[in-house]
Chain A
């Protein structure tokens, strides 16, 4: 028994009660049942556990606030509305979360889901936002609570895990000290005891050599370790509720799976309730019992995760689910792949750094893309996929190897191979109209006739599904999806034979993502374009690609027809990647989790 468990009343009580069964894999099917039972039918089992936990907290000196009544729900939100100026971010939302249960708030950007999370801790207080309705968390009336009561609630009874683990930790202080600080705020423990607690929770969330690493600063940690650190901070004061706001969005898929598994295990052990805010339906399916789909600040559907995802009643939910790319759906090939090779890379290598810090970001990569074909390049961060894409376009000079356009060796950029960038905001000049941006490649080719330029740009705007009269508008007047369409129009202006798309949809919501992907497919069929689709999202890559190259540490570890690679991966790394993709079916998700084992304690 780890020291974390030894002094943790919550852990012991719950561990003895319900959870051995859960931990032994009875969970997949029974999990929802067990947890619902926790809340409704048998409050005794876990209720006692929480009681013990409450006493434990009282002993550490935090019991002075209004005591959490054993009976009520953990979270009760009634007719919540939050408005920033004229914008109603949340509009009449109500839901309950029982003790120990897990609810997923799912929605696209702007749906108000994160605002709800902040409202649970009254983080809007003093910011000028108008909050209406009632919010009770762990027995505290959040709206009416005094500042002191709020401080005790925050972190003590309900702890929040934020999205971006790099910016969410103070860069100047050691991670252990940051956790200790939070612990001391709530317990008045001695410095030494707080440090010990920090090491204990860091150890619990799977930071190796926690006693030593507690003295590291956040920048010395990987993204996954930082997220674990934030979760450790949340655990420090043994809260009743964990609010996780997009906890895995910035992480690679394998790391995401580890974090979700960790959250799952911790919840089993401590009996914490979980409110998970996410845009990713798959992440929700992996982690929660109930799902609440939000749109424009309102709930459109709310129910058990299996029901909502399996048989959605609301049209928007259906639309949302329809847009989610499936990693297990075979590719529906449309259009013809020609025989001629448009773009070819032979033995590409690119090194960065000097002296001892020299490393190869891309190492001996060869590939071909034919007319009308899409080659997916998939890999996690740091795999070299973006470097490869830039070399294919000629934006980066290879250290070794050659790029060939239609058989001819090519150095530097050329109109025949264009690029669509990841971030449609920063890849367009904010001070120039979109029409001017699209006209750039035309002018670069020597076109001087303003009339012809404008005519062609209007044609291109129309081609990518934008209003040609928007020629004079500026990028900030467009939505993310529209901006990406502008980026595509700009790439098309040069009349390329091939387009390299570097994460073209990763900044977009799923419904927008589906539209942009469809547009790329249409253009490809119409113009016979060869596409290189660089992405980290395995499902999107499967959806769009004819062939796929899986990259790891600068090398291609697997390369072949997309269905072959996804159905029967030969490389263990590909297998690992595919196993980490969240499944939309909660039962499948649970099976997979069991198969992955429990890396948190490994």
Chain B
């Protein structure tokens, strides 16, 4: 009861906070879309030629350009895009006219598929990758952090510090490649990653993703280990820890109940942030492990100048980053009741 009451106290400013964040998110996403349109407008490359393919005749290229409305001025094309988002749009596939309902992010130049459907199909892959990795990096990171705060100044701590530092300093493709070569190639402990949908076979899903999860987690967990360690050491130096020591409370309780509690708020706030940026930044790991997620699709779309797909994907990942940031702030206020959202 009173816990809820305390909570409602720290979340008293929530409606105003949510509204401000929402407005902020809309403005941010709008700005992102404008920038991408501008960038691709001035970018080199004949979109119609690329879309049509190398063996197209000039007449065919012209037809494609017309169909994709590539000859319209930039603002007209952007206007169509906005229309699509808010009211939906009709488009021709050359032979028939199809309707794409709001929110419509357009249609891929390449495949003629609706961008929203495309994203919907790829999202589970990216989500599986990031969520699993996050669980692992939290366990690894917080565990290492607690251990090194506990054994501060001793060999354990120095060893852990060295390992986590090495983790931070290594790029994902190095760790990923090494792991793949050793674990999948030589030892053959794990399969070379291949995406199996969770709904089809959960066991194979996890088994295949374990290696990508581990690679991402090894890198991210370093950050969490250091954050946990420093928050805990900070708390351990605080007066209230002295109080409990002076009351005969054992070191185990002091670490577990008091010091760790101080690290919870920053850790969950950071992980919410990282979740957002990992969704957006899955390009590298997905390409490396050959997982058909948003990141790999985005890279492909950029190389073939598939503007609607690029805009759609970036907006969706951008949305997750903004959302994750807001969630991080709320979680922080929940974890530390002294913070009031405003």
Contacts and interface: CB of A to CB of B under 8 A. Distances in A.
A162 B243 contact: yes
9 A-B pairs closest in CB distance: A155-B247, A151-B248, A154-B248, A167-B239, A215-B2, A182-B247, A172-B261, A170-B240, A155-B248
Contacts of B253: 181, 185
A121 interface: yes
A170 B264 CA distance: 14
12 contacts: A154-B247, A155-B248, A156-B248, A160-B246, A162-B239, A168-B240, A171-B240, A212-B2, A215-B3, A216-B6, A219-B337, A219-B338
B6 to A, nearest CB: 7
Interface string A139-160: 0000000000011111110011
Given A167-B238, A230-B243, A172 B250 contact: no
Contacts of B245: 123, 154
Contacts of B336: 171-172
Contact of A185 (B6, B240, B249, B264): B249
A169 B243 contact: yes
A164 B239 contact: yes
Interface string B208-247: 0000000000000000000000000000001110111111
A230 B244 CA distance: 11
Contacts of B6: 216-217, 220
A170 B246 contact: no
Interface in B324-342: 336-338
Interface residues of B, number: 24
A152 B248 contact: yes
Contacts of B246: 121, 123, 154-155, 159-160, 162
A181 B248 contact: no
Given A155-B248, A215-B3, A219-B337, A168 B257 contact: no
Contacts of B338: 171, 217, 219
Interface in A155-191: 155-156, 159-160, 162, 164, 167-173, 178, 181-182, 185-186
Interface of A: 121, 123, 150-156, 159-160, 162, 164, 167-173, 178, 181-182, 185-186, 212, 215-217, 219-220, 230, 233
A185 B250 contact: yes
B21 interface: no
Interface of B is mostly: helix
A152 B246 CA distance: 10
A408 to B, nearest CB: 39
A150 B248 contact: yes
Nearest to B259: A170
Given A172-B262, A185-B250, 18 more contacts: A151-B249, A151-B250, A154-B245, A154-B248, A159-B246, A159-B247, A162-B242, A168-B239, A170-B244, A170-B261, A171-B240, A172-B264, A172-B336, A182-B247, A182-B249, A185-B249, A219-B337, A233-B243
A215 B246 CA distance: 23
A193 to B, nearest CB: 17
B337 A186 contact: no
A233 B337 CA distance: 22
Contacts of B3: 215
A416 B206 CA distance: 74
B258 interface: yes
B13 to A, nearest CB: 10
Contact of A123 (B238, B242, B262): B242
Contacts of A171: 240, 336, 338
Nearest to B260: A172
Nearest to A154: B248
Nearest to A118: B246
Nearest to B265: A172
A164 B240 CA distance: 10
A168 B258 CA distance: 12
Nearest to A217: B337
Contact of B258 (A154, A170, A186): A170
Residue among B246, B261, B338 having the largest count of chain A Cβ atoms under 10 Å: B246
Nearest to B243: A168
A465 B313 CA distance: 70
Contacts of B247: 154-155, 159-160, 182, 185, 233
Nearest to A172: B261
A151 B264 CA distance: 28
B2 to A, nearest CB: 4
Nearest to A236: B247
A418 B238 CA distance: 37
A162 B336 CA distance: 24
Given A123-B245, A160-B246, A169 B337 contact: no
A238 to B, nearest CB: 13
A423 to B, nearest CB: 19
Contacts of A152: 248
